[in-house]
Amino acid sequence: MTNLTPWRRHVTNPTSLRPAARLRGDWDRLFEHALNDAWSGATGANGAPHGVRLDLTETEDAILVKAEVPGIDPEALEVRLHGDVLSVSGEKSEETEHSEGSRHVSERVFGSFQRTLQLPVAVDPEKVTAESKNGVVTITLKKSEAAKSRRIDVQTS
């Protein structure tokens, strides 16, 4: 079992490793965020993380999808249904207005995005509505009659 014990070099000055440890921590956080965004499917057209987050809720009669799209004009949103796959896409344009001075922090994301998801049940493509309010688009997809649950009476013989 001594072969499995990690080897540690004796360091006379432990403060000399702090910048290296900080750099390693920064790299770890960078890759963690990149992998989380890649696995969530929320990426822009160029593959960069975009951050479009959504909730999918199933009720007795419908599927409700709420997607956060702050700062995006509802006219720039496109909602498509193809079979059991819902797609929400759009583009957030960068503001061209610049004030005097230097920008010190820029965390806002601009560019195009697309988010697709497979719906858990069949829906009626003729009964889909979308409404945007306060940066959240709510898509209501009515279930098809075949997908709705119904009570079946048990007959006695």
* Spatial distance between the Cα atoms of 102 and 105, rounded to a whole number of angstroms: 9
Report the mean per-residue pLDDT for the chain.
Answer: 77
Instruction: Give the pLDDT mean for 106-135.
Output: 88
* Spatial distance between the Cα atoms of 133 and 82, rounded to a whole number of angstroms: 24
Residue that wins the pLDDT comparison between 122 and 22: 122
The type of residue at 114 is Q
Sequence-separated (6 or more) residues with CB below 8 Å from residue 106: none
If phi over 0 gives left and psi between -120 and 50 gives alpha, with beta otherwise, what is residue 83? left
User: Is 45 within a domain?
Assistant: yes
Taking CA atoms, 48 is separated from 35, 52, 112, in Å, by 11, 12, 10
Query: How much is the pLDDT for 40?
Result: 47
79 has a pLDDT exceeding 80 = yes
Find out whether 57 and 63 touch, Cβ atoms under 8 Å.
yes
Residue that wins the pLDDT comparison between 143 and 96: 143
Q: What is the CATH number of the domain that holds 125?
A: 2.60.40.790
Query: How much is the pLDDT for 34?
Result: 62
Q: Total structural domains in the chain?
A: 2
Q: Which domain holds residue 62?
A: 52-95+111-146
Same domain as 33, residue 60: no
User: Is 85 within a domain?
Assistant: yes
* Spatial distance between the Cα atoms of 1 and 14, rounded to a whole number of angstroms: 28
Same domain as 119, residue 74: yes
Query: How much is the pLDDT for 22?
Result: 78
pLDDT of 12-69, one tens digit each?
555 555 777 777 777 777 766 665 554 444 444 444 445 578 999 999 899 999 999 8
At 105, the pLDDT band (50, 70, 90 cuts) reads confident
pTM of the entire structure?
A: 0.60
At 9, the pLDDT band (50, 70, 90 cuts) reads low
Judged on CB neighbours under 10 Å (0-12, 13-18, 19+), 124 is middle
Among 119, 145, 153, CA closest to 60: 145
CA atoms within 13 A on the CB side of 140: 9
Same domain as 140, residue 64: yes
Same domain as 40, residue 68: no
User: Is 141 within a domain?
Assistant: yes
Same domain as 59, residue 21: no
Instruction: Give the pLDDT mean for 110-129.
Output: 89
* Spatial distance between the Cα atoms of 42 and 155, rounded to a whole number of angstroms: 50
Same domain as 86, residue 61: yes
